[in-house]
Amino acid sequence: ALVSGAISGFLDVAFNFNTQAFEDDNLL
């Protein structure tokens, strides 16, 4: 459970980071 939570948290942060970068590129 701990490992699954850590992986889910990492993917969630990575997804949010990529989404923000994608939005920034669209503003350009």
Quick one: tokens of 2?
Answer: 């701990």
**26/1 Cα distance (integer angstroms):** 37
User: pLDDT digit string (tens) for 1-28?
Assistant: 567 777 787 878 777 777 776 666 665 5
What's this model's pTM, rounded to 2 decimal places?
A: 0.40
pLDDT at position 1 is: 53
pLDDT at position 21 is: 66
**9/15 Cα distance (integer angstroms):** 10
